[in-house]
Amino acid sequence: MTASRWLITALSFIATIGVSIYMVVGWSQQGMSLLLPPQAHLLALAAVAIEVTARALKIRWSARAVGIDLPFRTAVRTCLGGDFGAAITPARSGAEPARFFILSEAGLPSAGVLVILYAELFLEVFSLATVVAVVAIIFRHAGAVVITLTSIVGGYAAVVLGVGASALYLSRRNASGPPPRWARRLRLDAGRWRTVQRALRKLRSTIDSVEHVDPRAAISALLASVVHVGIRLGVLPALVLTSAASVPLAPLALWPLGFLYGAAVVPAPGGGGAVEMAFRAALGSAIPASLFAAALVWWRFYTFYIYILLGAIAAGSTVMRAVRKTEEYEVEVELQNE
């Protein structure tokens, strides 16, 4: 990445770690400890393993649905590499380029890669809606937390579906020709508009191929996606309830899901401390003071930092090449338009 982007990433992680330290110090006068029972860590690690496996199966079965054979190992690298790319770039912008690059290096055609990535994105929206609908029924008396979670998830789904619908509309009307007036107002000059048009043409062929999907593989991918979203509900309860069984389950299960998907709209890499502040505001009164710091630190580790470590091990060098190529292309487009 460029020096400025590395600086933004570094400052964001400093802010994130600084807020976490502030939280820990704030509870240090109340018998705070970062120790949790071994079973808490075993359960959290099991949740991480199930979540990664489910996501890898979702990608693999999405590929199979459109007639592409994707090895499970490559699917795992794609998931973890995307996590790593998302963590080190603003607004998670490096996730899709990283996944695209990993799949392309595995020998898949670009059109097939786009099919897989679009399928993964839309399956996540529908599985997220399914999980939220189920928990809204189970925890229907939870009050504000259910309403807030539904609003966050509804907003996330609306953005994803809205972007998809807009891209579909444009792929039918603006896949060729000069940039229209509205595009010029958005500073999409000729070079950038040609890039958009190439993506729109690929999107059109991608959507046309959906007519030939294998329904059994598509359903399997959807079920795997539901598992991958649903298992995230269990990480914080596993960390807290093993030490304090009397803590209400609903806030422990529901608020973190909202934090994870709400963080997708935070422009700073790693959330810039926003996730930690939201965690404190929503769960500070629900989790016992002596357990709060440990719950925050380890929940953040098992839902964010561990994926950075695993992603760096699985596909770190590939992801960095993807990020560099994306930035080099942006610079090239800028130079062409000067």
User: For the segment 44-60, what is each residue's pLDDT rounded down to a tens digit?
Assistant: 999 999 999 999 999 99
Residue 15: what pLDDT? 76
Tokens matching residue 200:
């729109």
**What is the number of structural domains in the chain?**
1
Distances from the Cα of 303 to the Cα of 180, 235, 299, 326, 333, angstroms? 42, 8, 6, 27, 36
Say if residues 323 and 94 touch (Cβ distance below 8 Å): yes
User: For the segment 15-52, what is each residue's pLDDT rounded down to a tens digit?
Assistant: 777 777 777 666 555 556 788 999 999 999 999 999 99
Tokens matching residue 275:
């996730």
- H/E stretch holding 114 reads helix 110-138
Q: Could you tell me the maximum CA-CA distance found in the chain, to the nearest angstrom?
A: 67
Q: Indicate the burial class of 207 (C-beta count within 10 angstroms; 0-12, 13-18, 19 or more).
A: middle
User: For the segment 216-235, what is each residue's pLDDT rounded down to a tens digit?
Assistant: 998 999 999 999 999 999 99
Cα 332 to its chain centre, rounded Å, is 28
pLDDT, mean of residues 298-315: 92
| CA gap 90, 97 in Å, rounded | 13
Task: Please state which of the ranges 68-72, 219-223, 240-244, 327-331 shows the lowest mean pLDDT.
Answer: 327-331
Which residues lie closer than 8 Å to 18 by C-beta, 6 or more apart?
273
User: For the segment 99-148, what is each residue's pLDDT rounded down to a tens digit?
Assistant: 988 998 888 887 778 778 877 777 888 888 888 888 888 888 887 788 88
* Residue 333 banded pLDDT, cuts 50, 70, 90: very low
Residue 24: give the domain boundaries.
3-336
Give the three-state DSSP class for 142.
Answer: coil
38-65 and 289-300 helices cross at what angle (nearest 10)?
30
Which H, E and C letters describe 225-275, residue by residue?
HHHHHHHHHHHHHHHHHCCCCCCCHHHHHHHHHHHHHHHHHCCCHHHCCHH
Helices then strands, each counted (H, E), the chain: 14, 0
Phi–psi pair at 91, nearest 5 degrees: 55, 30
Residue 6: what pLDDT? 64
Say if residues 315 and 104 touch (Cβ distance below 8 Å): no
* Residue 238 banded pLDDT, cuts 50, 70, 90: very high
Average pLDDT across the chain, whole number: 81
Tokens 């690059």 correspond to 101
| CA gap 51, 80 in Å, rounded | 11
| CA gap 250, 145 in Å, rounded | 8
Say if residues 122 and 160 touch (Cβ distance below 8 Å): yes
pLDDT, mean of residues 286-299: 89
Residue 267: what pLDDT? 65
Which residues lie closer than 8 Å to 300 by C-beta, 6 or more apart?
20, 275, 276, 279
Residue 168: what pLDDT? 66
Of 123, 88, 85, 127, the residue nearest 103 (C-alpha): 85
267 vs 253, more confident: 253
Say if residues 309 and 301 touch (Cβ distance below 8 Å): no
User: For the segment 163-203, what is each residue's pLDDT rounded down to a tens digit?
Assistant: 667 766 766 665 566 777 766 666 666 666 666 666 666 66
